[in-house]
Amino acid sequence: MPLGWPQWLLAVLLGLIVGSFLNVLIHRLPRMLEVAWEADHAAWLLAQQDVPGHRATHQTAQRFDLWLPASHCPACNTPLRWFENIPLLGYLWLRGRCAHCQARISPRYPLVELSSAALAAYCAWRYGLTWPALAWFFFGAILLSLALIDWATTYLPDSLTLPLLWAGLLAAATGLTGTPLPQAVWGAAIGYASLRLVYEIFLHLTGREGMGHGDFKLDAAIGAWLGWPALLPVLLVASVSGLVVGLMLKFYGRLGEQGQLPFGPFLALGGALGWIMGSNWLLQLLAQAR
């Protein structure tokens, strides 16, 4: 049944609100990981220095997570007023600059909110206001977050890849994705094992790591959502798009010193295309090109 304007409005508003949260997630989660690693390292150093009868004192760090501190300008730390936090409208109201120090606000923030709104609208159009629409919206939102986090930091946090993997298996088991459960299970296993095998071969031949372990888990999660038949097209899209972008960055002198490029954004692109176009779309395209 076609959706009326109230349903479309609800979907877009949901997408904008979730997009605002994704901005917080993308910005803060990598720093949360770094803070945790720094704390673990400091605790290890203190443990190495401990002597009998001596107890080291630990300073309590200021809380930093997805909820605290409140949203603020990263340049001057001025807290944002409530209307400045309204998705998309807040950015337009501020004209892309902090009201206090005039520091430029990254256009990534409204772009993520618009992308999330478009994703929600697409899911509503394709599935209606149903549980499958919500499930696939979750899939797309997490892929978007992982792609942007990996591009900026080369991190693919377990706190996102592993829930995405388990959610895919549970969604297949309950029929939300339409992916048969055996295909989802084999997709997770083959997705992880295939990239792990490439990693081990590259490490053996060169003595260097060609990708991070998060890539294995992301590929496994995509396999859980789309099923094992989608993995070959996903990897082909990821490899070709990564190669093209890498060559462009190298041509313009913007590739890193070690010539490494995060693979996660391209896996996410392959996963998104596999979902939208179907698992066999690339193979059918290649067959028609012969």
pTM of the model: 0.90
pLDDT score recorded for residue 5: 81
Q: How confident is the model at residue 259 (pLDDT cuts 50, 70, 90)?
A: low
Residue 70: both structure tokens together: 């409140």
Q: Virtual CA dihedral for 283, 178, 219, 12, nearest 10 degrees?
A: 100
Break the chain into its structural domains and give their ranges.
1-36+60-129, 130-285
Q: What would the mean pLDDT of 235-259 be, rounded to a whole number?
A: 86
Q: How confident is the model at residue 50 (pLDDT cuts 50, 70, 90)?
A: low
Please state, as a whole number, how many other Cβ atoms lie within 10 Å of the Cβ of residue 136: 23
CA atoms within 13 A on the CB side of 133: 19
- For 108-155, the pLDDT digits (tens) are 999 999 999 999 999 999 999 999 999 999 999 999 999 999 999 999
Whole-number average pLDDT of the chain: 88
